[in-house]
Amino acid sequence: MSIKEMIAEVMESEISSIIGVKENVDDAYAQAVEKILNCKGKVIFLGVGKSGHIGKKLAATFASTGTPAFFVHATEAVHGDLGMIEKDDIVIAISNSGETKEVLNTLPSIKMIGASLLSMTGNKNSTLAKNSEITIEVCVDREADQHNLAPTNSSTATLVVGDALAVTVSRMKGFKKKDFGLYHPGGSLGKQLLEGGFIEK
């Protein structure tokens, strides 16, 4: 197999995984959107490893599209960063297995704080899922690498699901270009919005 064929094979594997997740969109997605729309606090993404990196990106996407959000690293959380979470917040914990020790270690404190717990996981029967108010199952058949080990399909699918939630929430809030411009005045996007009159000089 040539290099180009291997690259195309990985891309096809990831595309197929996203299609598979899309075909299994259920009521949990709508419940999560409604929960976020009614949230009086912030949306906090929690994770570690590759799931943590996805959580950071999703927090940034939610924030830039009108939903106050940030990311808390699961390991740092149990060393004081749980103090960033308040009872009116929603915590969205990300773990493909649903059994990530660092994430599970935060659950007792989150419950005591009183924040709502949602999860994005590939296993709806996991400990994380069973302790969540709403579980969005992001299940893929396998990863894209030859050993079925590196988080690839699973992390990409989680990213796509999170983006879908963020954009849906944004649309339901009536978020407009001028609102995006307020939160994103820099870079080429900011320049485009400024020239289009969506950002006041």
Here the tokens at position 47 are 């994770």
Is residue 71 a contact partner of residue 85, using CB atoms and an 8 Å limit?
no
**What is the per-residue pLDDT for 199?**
53
- The closest of 120, 86, 89 to 103, measured between CA atoms, is 120
- In the CATH scheme, what is the homologous superfamily, with its name and number, of domain 3-174? Glucose-6-phosphate isomerase like protein; domain 1 (3.40.50.10490)
Q: Average pLDDT in the 71-78 region?
A: 98
- The closest of 59, 49, 54 to 91, measured between CA atoms, is 59
Strands 116-121 and 134-137, sheet pairing: parallel
Rounded Cα gap, residues 97 and 128, in angstroms: 9
**pLDDT tier at 177, thresholds 50, 70, 90:** confident
Least confident of 33-42, 98-107, 190-199: 190-199
Rounded Cα gap, residues 94 and 49, in angstroms: 10
Share of the chain above pLDDT 90, in %: 86
